[in-house]
């Protein structure tokens, strides 16, 4: 009888326990962190299944206690996948529900405000008796006289250099 351990003996067990502990702690965070323990449980299950397949191929090379530990880890990882998968599924449903409710409220608000004038609606009122619209834009003068500003700047610069 050999006392060799299977490759996933400590790894799969640790990943299974971590996935359960983090999954239960993730429920306190509204399930948003349940993806990490779900991934840990999947990795632990894959490594446990590989080690159990290796044990079935050559049972004399490994200790039965190691195979029992890996089998326990496999069960823990399956439980972790089920619990964390359920938490992730519930989180996605809740997020989708609130997202749908929020978007429907936004669309209702847009529909209700489309008939009334909004804060951002602007209108130009042009007196058609004096000028046409094209002439209005052509004749419009700027309230700031740029030529005076340029002359003031040049005078100031000349005074600084002199």
Measured CA to CA in angstroms, residue 141 lies from 44, 79, 145 at distances of: 76, 77, 9
Q: Is the pLDDT of residue 80 over 60?
A: yes
Residue 144: predicted pLDDT? 58
Domain range enclosing 33: 1-162
Is the pLDDT reported for residue 81 higher than 90? yes
Neighbour tally for 83: CB within 10 Å = 20
Check pLDDT > 70 for residue 123. Answer: no
The count of other CB atoms within 10 Å of the CB of residue 19 is 29
Residue identified by tokens 């004038």 is 117
Q: Which two tokens stand for residue 131?
A: 């000028």
Provide the number of structural domains found in the chain: 1
Tell me the percentage of the chain whose pLDDT exceeds 70: 75
> 85 near 31, Cβ under 8 Å?
no
Q: Looking at per-residue confidence, does 111 or 83 come out higher?
A: 83
Lowest mean pLDDT among 71-75, 145-149, 156-160: 145-149
The pLDDT of residue 54: 92
Q: What is the per-residue pLDDT for 6?
A: 86
Return the half-sphere exposure (C-beta side, CA atoms, 13 A cut-off) of residue 106.
Answer: 6
Of 112-116, 125-129, 152-156, the range with the lowest mean pLDDT is: 125-129
Prediction pTM value? 0.62
Rounded to an integer, what is the distance from CA 91 to the centroid of its chain?
A: 13
Query: Does position 30 have pLDDT exceeding 80, yes or no?
Result: no
In terms of pLDDT, which residue wins out, 134 or 93? 93
């Amino acid at each position: 009888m050999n006392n060799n351990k299977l490759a996933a003996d400590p790894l799969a067990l640790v990943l299974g326990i971590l996935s359960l502990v983090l999954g239960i702690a993730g429920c306190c965070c509204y399930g948003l962190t349940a993806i990490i323990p779900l991934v840990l449980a999947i990795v632990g299950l894959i490594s446990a299944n590989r080690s159990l397949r290796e044990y079935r191929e050559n049972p004399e090379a490994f200790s039965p206690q190691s195979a029992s530990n890996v089998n326990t880890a496999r069960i823990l990882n399956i439980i972790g996948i089920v619990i964390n998968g359920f938490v992730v599924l519930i989180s996605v449903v809740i997020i989708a529900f609130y997202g749908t409710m929020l978007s429907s409220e936004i669309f209702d608000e847009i529909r209700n405000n489309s008939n009334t004038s909004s804060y951002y609606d602007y209108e130009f009122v042009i007196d058609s008796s004096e000028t046409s619209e094209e002439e209005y834009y052509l004749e419009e003068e700027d309230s700031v006289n740029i030529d005076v500003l340029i002359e003031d700047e040049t005078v100031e610069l000349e005074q600084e250099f002199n």
